Chains A and B, each alone.
Chain A
Amino acid sequence: MAVTLEVRDATVSFGGNVVLRGVNLDAQPGRITALIGPNGAGKTTLFNVIAGVQRPTGGSVRLNGIDVTGMAPHRRVHAGLGRTFQRLELFGSLSVAENLRVAASSLPRSERRSKVDEVIDRLNLGDLADTRADTLSTGTGRMVELARVLVGNPTVLLLDEPASGQDDNETARFAQILSDLASDGLTVLLVEHDMGLVMSISDHVHVLDFGKVIASGTCDQIKADPEVQAAYLGVEVPQ
């Protein structure tokens, strides 16, 4: 299968402190790939390396076959990358529709309006179009942030803990939308604490610990992996 996101040997160190030690990670279109791991494992750093906010000490990132390792974040967007944030980064003083309009301003003029309408429709945000973004609940804000990313027609979608701040209904709806997007051919990479969400929608899971990928596989493989259990629980659990 084609690989749209390819991380090779990513290494990051701050001073003498090595946070990532040669991480390899692939993500394919049409699938939801999850990245999990205990605190301090390096998930956020890896995420930032992919998004272009953190420059790796070594290794490379390829998006749709293009090497984007040294590329500025806003230029990666044109290479097909879209991301959301753990803490919402909406344009708070603008309305929901205006948030999407700003995102659409990087598209050709003729497509802007139709794209915004299409995304609002798809994510069912019509009722909120004129609401100021900083008055939204976190759960709704996550949906708006996703919408804002989708306006840019990404091929690879990076999501940083989308479930935090959402209630169970919102998480379920969000999960449904992610599955739909994946079946439309998007590559979805998820960094998430909420095991419920990860285990219910992921096709493939990578587990990071101490800056290394210690396991990758399907959800069931991961749940049964003794190394993962050791990493998460610090104990061997009898089957």
Chain B
Amino acid sequence: MSEFVGFTITGLVTASIYAIVACGLTLTYATTGIFNWAHGAFAAIGAFTYWQMTQGWGWNPVLALGICVVVIGPGIGVIVEAGIMRRLDGTSEITRMAVTLALLIGIVAGLNWIWDPRTSKIVKPLVDGRAVHLFGQRLPVYDLIVMAIAVVVGLALRHLLYRQRAGVEMRAIVDDRNLIILNGVSPVRTAQLSWGIGATTAVLAGVLIAPKTSVAAASLSLLVMNAFAAAVVGRLRSLPLTVLGAVILGLSTAYAQGYIGSRPDIPGSRYLIGLVNVVPVIVLFIALQFLPHERLRASKSQQAREISTAPTWRGVTILAVIIVLATIALTPLPAAGDLHNLTRVWGIALIALSLVPLLGWAGRLAVCPFAFAAVGAVITAHLAPQGQIWGLLLAGLAAAAVGALLSFPGARLSPLYLALATAAFAVACDNWVFRLPPFDLVIRIPFTDVDIYRQQVHIFQGGALTVHRPVFGGIDLSSDRAFLIFGAVVFALALFALTALRRSTLGLRMLALKDSPIGYATVGLDKRVTTVAAFAISAGIAGVGGALLGGAIERPSPDAFGFFGGLSVLVVVVIFGVASIGSPIAAGVFLAAPVLANVFPSLAQSTPTLTALAGVGLGNNPNGAIASDLRPSWSGLTRQHALLGGGTAVVVASYFTTLAEVTSNWFFVAACIAYVVIMPNASRALSKRALSKRTIADRTSDGQQTGPLQAEPGLVANHGLSASPENLALTLPLSQKDLATLDELLGIGSGDGRDA
């Protein structure tokens, strides 16, 4: 009995901290419509600055707490609102998610940059060691203070929302955004207030939780993300229900810990210890299943639509050939250690590619590509222990099956809730399933003692899988170079497969479902089939990618497939365009190639920092870099053979001089960078000159048909124009240059009779 009281009190202390965080999160979401994935990272900032002030500088803890709550928290909120979130008005759900995820990655990287993660940081509680005795229990005074602070925060929020005009405005904005504007209230001010309060609750929770755990950026962020479950119980709307959710969460965690976690004597406890760590995500998963069905309705006023051009066979063939040839050509250059790291490129690229059909085309926000990848790695390790080539195939099939299963509870969820559910799935795999101790897998004929199948299974083989690199038709692919080239070939084949999918009816149905779910129902199609297919295909690709990534690392631990790593992949893919099949290459190269680390060895955090910086800047460019920047600036080049040939020749020449060790690797890198920078600009300059010449020629001669260029709407994008075509002359003046470019693109003005 006294044990129960003890667990209950522990649970309530945890619940207090969760309640503080979750209320802030809910408040921000309800009033601004942006779900802050970086909420946990805000808490980490709080914990770190508090540690710095109290331990680093030896300040009074109460003063430090005060500064955190009064300065740091509101400061973060206001800066984040003004600098990032304000620009997200009217953007798609995926952009909002990618931006806050980028913020999360960036903050974690920044904290690790400032405070070396290798030194452990212990925070002493506000009140050290003292305790009171209550119900026969020893109760640390600090815990009482935490609960008291939670109550005070609750009362303060209540006071604000019901007794202050600013708070009433926040509730009003949840009811009717337009009407509050008609009342003369500026929504910007309300948003600022709500971000300020949200960030402050996170910072406060970070400070309070710091003494109970070690101060580490990523784990603190994840710990606070547990509170998402409480917010979902409150349906991201109701604060009282959110508090109830926090209590459920705190108590269930404490009871699980108390009754299962610390009892080695009960049967099966070694399998459940991991489960104790993932109680919050299980609560989240269950809470999501109790949400009401999303109603099918006509699309809301603004629906940001991403450009998604179907890849052509010609284009994908060129891309595939370049990928394989470039990989073959580049492998002799790097040092052996770098080459080993580089082998991860195609595994990560494939995992990134898995996001394209599911997120980019079908519009389902699943954030667990690394969990599918881990399934693939596990399956190859177990079923293809000698590196049999069909291990890859099995990896894909098994992951596809898991993906299909996950799609059933996921199909009915709205995008944000699906993202939360898949995040919960990924964390549960990470912290529990992949860390299970060995168990016997038994298939027994019912009601008998006859086993059809009995096998001891140890999912991650004692902490690290042994994934053999494949042997294919007598060719041993175990060297780094051979494996890297093999990866490129697999990736190239996957590109062809996805191109076929995108051009097939199934691919069209995925896009159709994303564009207009109600229109999709109207033509008599069942969305379930398409959803399951999208999940299975995506998971299958990720599974193959996981097998490749496992082969690259050779002995991957579950950490190699961590939830956080998956987020970086997702953000990079969104930056380059989640609907383009080219963006995964960028993700693979950027995240796996050791280029940045080589160039800036002192900046270990440069890759995540750059990812984050590019990610938070996404707000204005939801189509991604490929569709908006790269494709328009490079597509002109394909028509200028001399320039293209010349530039490429220079790069190839520098490649061979490097290979012959006449020049250094850096020379080659410099040549490549110069190529990337100079070519599009040179092409633009050339086409401009050619254009002005031709226009003059057309005026003077009768005008020969110079061959109209195809005006494919998706492809034209902003090519050479100062704005997108629909904005020209309407919101922006139409320049002479724009007119000329338009004429060129449309193939008019060259004597087709219209301007005769």
Is B149 in contact with chain A by the CB < 8 A criterion?
A: no
- Interface residue stretch chosen among B118-126, B297-305, B457-465, B563-571: B297-305
Q: Do the beta carbons of B523 and A77 come within 8 Å of each other?
A: yes
Interface centre among B298, B299, B305, B526 (most CB of A within 10 A): B298
Q: Are A106 and B525 in contact (CB under 8 A)?
A: yes
Q: Are A90 and B524 in contact (CB under 8 A)?
A: no
Whether the pair A102, B299 counts as a contact (CB closer than 8 A) is no
Q: Is B160 located at the chain interface by the 8 A CB criterion?
A: no
Residues from chain A with a CB closer than 8 A to the CB of B520 are 74, 91, 102
Q: A89-B516, A132-B713 are in contact. Are A94 and B521 (CB under 8 A)?
A: no
Give the contact stretch, choosing among A8-16, A148-156, A196-204, A211-219: A148-156
In the complex, the answer to whether A90 meets B522 with C-beta atoms within 8 Å is: no
Complex Cα–Cα for A53 and B522 (A): 10
Q: How far is the CB of A12 from chain B (nearest CB, A)?
A: 15
Interface of A is mostly: mixed
Task: Report whether B518 and A102 are in contact in the complex, using a CB–CB cutoff of 8 Å.
Answer: no
A103 to B516, CA, bound (A): 13
Contact call A89/B518, Cβ cutoff below 8 A: yes
Residues of B within 8 A of A92 (CB): 305, 515-516
| Residues in chain A near residue B560, CB distance under 8 A | none
Q: Determine the chain A residues whose CB is within 8 A of the CB of B677 once the complex forms.
A: none
- Does B714 have its Cβ within 8 Å of any Cβ on chain A? yes
Nearest CB of A to B132, in Å: 51
Question: Which residue from A51, A90, A149 sits with its C-beta under 8 Å from B516?
Answer: A90
In the assembly, what is the distance between CA of A101 and CA of B520, in Å?
Answer: 12
Contact residues in B for A131 (Cβ distance below 8 Å): 713
**What residues of B have a CB within 8 angstroms of the CB of A39 in the complex?**
none
- Given A53-B296, A87-B299, check contact A73 B508 (CB 8 Å): no
B519 interface residue, CB < 8 Å from A?
Answer: yes
Contact with B along A139-160 (1 / 0, CB 8 A): 0000000001101100000000
B511 interface residue per 8 A CB criterion: yes
A26: CB under 8 A from chain B? no
Question: Which residues of chain B are near A53, meaning CB under 8 Å?
Answer: 296-297, 518
Contacting pair A102 B522 (CB below 8 A): no
Instruction: From A85, A102, A134, give the contact of B525 (CB < 8 A).
Output: A102
Bound complex: CA of A181 vs CA of B524, how far in Å?
20
Alpha-carbon gap, A225 to B354, bound state (A): 63
Q: Say whether B448 faces chain A, with CB atoms less than 8 Å apart.
A: no
Given A94-B511, A101-B508, A132-B714, residue A89 in contact with residue B525 (CB < 8 A): no
In the assembled complex, A83 has its CB within 8 A of some CB on chain B: yes
B512 interface residue, CB < 8 Å from A? yes
Q: How far is the CA of A114 from the CA of B174 in the complex (A)?
A: 50
Task: Scan A116-136; emit 1 where CB is below 8 A from any B CB, else 0.
Answer: 000000000000001110110
Q: Are B523 and A148 in contact (CB under 8 A)?
A: yes
Please state if A73 and B296 are interface contacts (CB–CB under 8 Å). yes
Query: Nearest Cβ in chain A — how far from B360, in angstroms?
Result: 10
Tell me the bound Cα distance from A105 to B519 in angstroms.
14
A103 in contact with B523 given A89-B518, A91-B516 (CB within 8 Å): yes
Residues of A within 8 A of B526 (CB): 74
User: Please, which residue of chain B has its CB at the minimum distance from the CB of A97?
Assistant: B508
Select one of A72, A85, A99, A102 contacting B505, CB under 8 A. Answer: A102
Q: State the CA gap A151–B525 with chains docked (Å).
A: 13
Q: Give the interface of B toward A (CB within 8 A).
A: 296-299, 305-308, 505, 508-509, 511-512, 514-516, 518-527, 712-714
**A-B residue pairs, 10 tightest by C-beta:** A77-B524, A89-B519, A103-B523, A91-B512, A91-B515, A74-B521, A89-B516, A106-B524, A102-B512, A73-B521
- Can you pick out 5 interface pairs between chain A and chain B where the beta carbons lie within 8 Å of each other? A73-B521, A73-B522, A89-B516, A102-B512, A135-B713
Q: Chain A: residues with CB nearer than 8 A to chain B?
A: 51, 53, 72-75, 77-78, 82-83, 85-87, 89-94, 98-99, 101-103, 105-106, 130-132, 134-135, 148-149, 151-152
